[in-house]
């Protein structure tokens, strides 16, 4: 009887520990259907083993090519943890220190303030404490493709004015991860993409992950990004035959499959499985709370969270009393999420090749609750409705301007302001007549091209490519010093993605149109 009693307890414990497969299947399917996704891949690691995988949808909507565990997705900002991992490996190898000055490896590195330039350490590149505003300079990275190089990023930083004191405030940035990748290259003696292969992909067996330049046909099975239209999901920014080594690689350019991401999570959750890959000291450093982050109202209401902070490439928080290490990734038409619950040795990964911000949030929440609050029964519909109400409130508080009555601005109406303009970090744009209209064209960001429109007494750019989904207002002024024209930009939609950092631009006219 005693043996039967012990067995019963063990079986009950096992049943509670394992994820409810049918419930998770239902949640994934409901998310896929509710948000009309072109494709999704979901996986769960539990106690070092793959506990669940599910894939739905297509590489390209309507193609018939099904997504599977080997399909490559853009993991976007989940690349940051991989960049941090490369640096941690170099620290273990004695090739750099976290508190080394950045200028030790990149003498040309400059921030706007010379003192900050001198004080900026390698660790500061990873924790969003630079004093730059949210997404400062991101127009040098996105939309892709563009003509900015990593050298351009390093040169442009000195022209970006801080919005806060150094190390005083958290504000998410991407440019400094590009710098971190170049620091790794200088310290490691190889280009960033080669270091990632050498230090991560090869020793960890991430056989499908891609970094740097690669051939789409040779690699195969590559999900394409989509945007949702009234006619359904449509591919945007489709990969060419050769996928380039984009400037943003260290901040958000790596691609991986579901199986690769499961392997990546297993390494972090079960360090004994790969003890030689990273020392305990560096594992601790990566997951240490280096920069406090605000605890949002949603985190308090949904997760009963009490702290939030940034480590090296990871966000740290608590959910229902459980420690959470996580990150998200967002690019046009591609969304990812990695959620680790280290004390429970549980990891969740979500990869989406469509407009999936809400889907990622809702499904990530439902799956996390399976492990942090198994006694509760949250559903996709429940969290979707909470999110809808939250966003409706935000839209009411910050309404988007009504621009439906826009008209094409004539060259005559804009005659006082046409010309060629220059911003010290973004470079040149032209604002010149073409026939019966005026065109805005950025020299180094070809997707930022569009037609000038008039809305009452205001001006905006209607971008040619509708995947560039953040229109700017244009504000002209006579420059006080030279008497010539100045130009600044701002968002038409106050909820536009922060990477369209129009507020950081300060153009001055350099010459007339020819």
pLDDT of 144-191, one tens digit each? 999 999 999 999 999 999 999 999 999 999 999 999 999 999 999 999
Given this model, what pLDDT does residue 216 score?
98
Sign of torsion over alpha carbons 149, 151, 155, 157: positive
User: Region 473-478: what's the mean pLDDT?
Assistant: 95
CATH number assigned to the domain comprising residue 28: 3.40.710.10
**Which of 360, 395, 430 marks a domain boundary?**
395
Residue 238 contacts residue 224 (beta carbons within 8 Å): yes
Total Cβ atoms within 10 A of residue 2: 6
Total Cβ atoms within 10 A of residue 443: 14
pLDDT band at 19 (very low <50, low <70, confident <90, very high): low
**In this structure, are 164 and 29 located in the same domain?**
yes
**In this structure, are 452 and 337 located in the same domain?**
no
Instruction: Output the pTM of the full model.
Output: 0.94
Whole-angstrom distance, CA of residue 102 vs CA of residue 109: 7
Structure tokens at 308: 């939030």
Residue 354 contacts residue 39 (beta carbons within 8 Å): yes
**In this structure, are 445 and 373 located in the same domain?**
no
User: Region 398-420: what's the mean pLDDT?
Assistant: 96
Between CA 188 and CA 217, with CA 197 as vertex, the angle to 5 degrees is 140
pLDDT band at 39 (very low <50, low <70, confident <90, very high): very high
Collapse the DSSP code of 26 into the 3-class scheme (helix H, G, I; strand E, B; otherwise coil) and give the result.
Answer: helix
Domain that holds residue 250: 19-395
Collapse the DSSP code of 9 into the 3-class scheme (helix H, G, I; strand E, B; otherwise coil) and give the result.
Answer: helix
**In this structure, are 361 and 382 located in the same domain?**
yes
Q: Which has the higher per-residue pLDDT, 14 or 199?
A: 199
Q: Residue 14: pLDDT above 60?
A: no
Collapse the DSSP code of 261 into the 3-class scheme (helix H, G, I; strand E, B; otherwise coil) and give the result.
Answer: helix
Given this model, what pLDDT does residue 205 score?
97
**Which of 342, 368, 395 marks a domain boundary?**
395
Structure tokens at 163: 């919005």
**In this structure, are 129 and 184 located in the same domain?**
yes
Residue 446 contacts residue 145 (beta carbons within 8 Å): yes
User: Region 302-315: what's the mean pLDDT?
Assistant: 98
β-pair partners for 101: 121
- Residue 14 falls within a domain, yes or no? no
- Residue 5 falls within a domain, yes or no? no
Whole-angstrom distance, CA of residue 189 vs CA of residue 95: 10
pLDDT digits (tens, 9 = 90+) for 42-52: 999 999 999 99
**In this structure, are 379 and 500 located in the same domain?**
no
**In this structure, are 139 and 47 located in the same domain?**
yes
- Residue 115 falls within a domain, yes or no? yes
Q: Which has the higher per-residue pLDDT, 267 or 8?
A: 267
**In this structure, are 271 and 325 located in the same domain?**
yes
Q: Residue 387: pLDDT above 80?
A: yes
Whole-angstrom distance, CA of residue 510 vs CA of residue 508: 6
CA diameter of the chain: 95
Residue 467 contacts residue 143 (beta carbons within 8 Å): yes
pLDDT digits (tens, 9 = 90+) for 103-160: 999 999 999 999 999 999 999 999 999 999 999 999 999 999 999 999 999 999 999 9
Q: Residue 379: pLDDT above 80?
A: yes
Given this model, what pLDDT does residue 3 score?
37
Whole-angstrom distance, CA of residue 240 vs CA of residue 237: 9
* Averaged pLDDT score across all residues of the chain: 94
**In this structure, are 322 and 432 located in the same domain?**
no
Q: Residue 6: pLDDT above 70?
A: no
**Which of 368, 395, 422 marks a domain boundary?**
395
**In this structure, are 390 and 413 located in the same domain?**
no
**In this structure, are 443 and 383 located in the same domain?**
no
- Residue 10 falls within a domain, yes or no? no
Query: At residue 353, what are phi and psi to the nearest 5 degrees?
Result: -110, 40
CATH number assigned to the domain comprising residue 425: 2.40.128.50
- Per 3-state DSSP, the chain is made up of helix, strand and coil in percentages (nearest 5) of 35, 25, 40
| Cα–Cα separations (whole angstroms), residue 303 to 178, 300, 317, 369 | 32, 6, 10, 9
pLDDT band at 5 (very low <50, low <70, confident <90, very high): very low
**In this structure, are 63 and 86 located in the same domain?**
yes
Whole-angstrom distance, CA of residue 125 vs CA of residue 86: 14
Number of H helices, E strands in the chain: 15, 23
Given this model, what pLDDT does residue 168 score?
97
Q: Residue 477: pLDDT above 70?
A: yes
User: Region 413-423: what's the mean pLDDT?
Assistant: 97
- Residue 122 falls within a domain, yes or no? yes
pLDDT band at 8 (very low <50, low <70, confident <90, very high): very low
Residue 375 buriedness (CB in 10 A; 0-12 / 13-18 / 19+): exposed
Domain count, the chain: 2
Q: Residue 61: pLDDT above 70?
A: yes
pLDDT band at 391 (very low <50, low <70, confident <90, very high): very high
Given this model, what pLDDT does residue 478 score?
86
Given this model, what pLDDT does residue 484 score?
87
């Amino acid at each position: 009887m005693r043996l039967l009693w012990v067995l019963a307890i063990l079986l009950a414990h096992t049943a509670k520990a394992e994820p409810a497969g049918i419930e998770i299947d239902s949640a994934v399917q409901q998310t896929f259907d509710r948000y009309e996704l072109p494709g999704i891949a979901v996986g769960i690691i539990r106690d070092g083993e793959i506990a669940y995988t599910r894939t739905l949808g297509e590489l390209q909507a309507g193609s018939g090519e099904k997504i599977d565990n080997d399909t490559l997705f853009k993991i976007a900002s989940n690349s940051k943890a991989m960049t941090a991992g490369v640096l941690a490996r170099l620290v273990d190898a004695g090739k750099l220190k976290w508190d080394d000055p950045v200028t030790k490896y990149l003498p040309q590195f400059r921030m706007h303030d010379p003192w900050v330039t001198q004080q900026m350490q390698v660790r500061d590149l990873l924790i969003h404490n630079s004093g730059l505003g949210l997404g400062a300079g991101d127009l040098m990275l996105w939309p892709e493709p563009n003509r900015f190089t990593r050298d351009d990023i390093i040169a442009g930083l000195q022209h970006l004015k801080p919005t806060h004191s150094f190390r005083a405030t958290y504000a998410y940035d991407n440019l400094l991860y590009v710098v971190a990748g170049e620091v790794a290259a200088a310290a490691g003696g190889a280009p960033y993409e080669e270091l990632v292969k050498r230090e991560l992909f090869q020793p960890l067996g991430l056989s499908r992950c891609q970094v740097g330049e690669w051939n789409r046909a040779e690699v195969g099975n590559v999900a394409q990004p989509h945007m949702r239209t009234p006619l359904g999901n449509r591919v945007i920014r489709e990969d060419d035959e050769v996928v380039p080594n984009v400037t943003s690689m260290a901040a958000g350019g790596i691609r991986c499959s579901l199986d690769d991401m499961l392997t990546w999570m297993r390494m972090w959750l079960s360090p004994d499985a790969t003890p030689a890959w990273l020392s305990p000291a560096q594992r601790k450093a990566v997951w240490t709370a280096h920069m406090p982050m605000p605890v949002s109202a949603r985190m308090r209401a949904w997760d009963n969270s009490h702290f939030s902070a940034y480590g090296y490439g990871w966000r740290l928080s608590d959910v229902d009393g459980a420690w959470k290490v996580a990150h998200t990734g967002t690019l046009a038409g591609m969304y990812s999420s990695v959620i680790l619950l280290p004390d429970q040795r549980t990891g969740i990964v979500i990869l989406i090749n469509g407009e999936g911000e809400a889907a990622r949030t809702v499904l990530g929440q439902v799956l996390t609750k399976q492990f942090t609050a198994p006694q509760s029964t949250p559903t996709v519909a429940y969290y979707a409705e909470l999110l809808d109400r939250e966003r409706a409130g935000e839209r009411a508080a910050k309404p988007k301007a009504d621009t439906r009555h826009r008209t094409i601005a004539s060259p005559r109406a804009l005659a006082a302001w046409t010309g060629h303009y220059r911003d010290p970090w973004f470079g040149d744009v032209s604002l010149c007549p073409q026939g019966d209209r005026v065109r805005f064209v950025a020299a180094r960001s070809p997707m930022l091209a569009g037609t000038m429109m008039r809305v009452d007494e205001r001006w905006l750019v209607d971008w040619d490519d509708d995947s560039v989904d953040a229109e700017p207002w244009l504000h002209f002024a006579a420059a006080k010093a030279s008497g010539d024209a100045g130009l600044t930009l701002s968002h038409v939609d106050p909820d536009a993605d922060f990477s369209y950092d129009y507020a950081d631009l300060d153009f001055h006219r350099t010459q007339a149109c020819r």
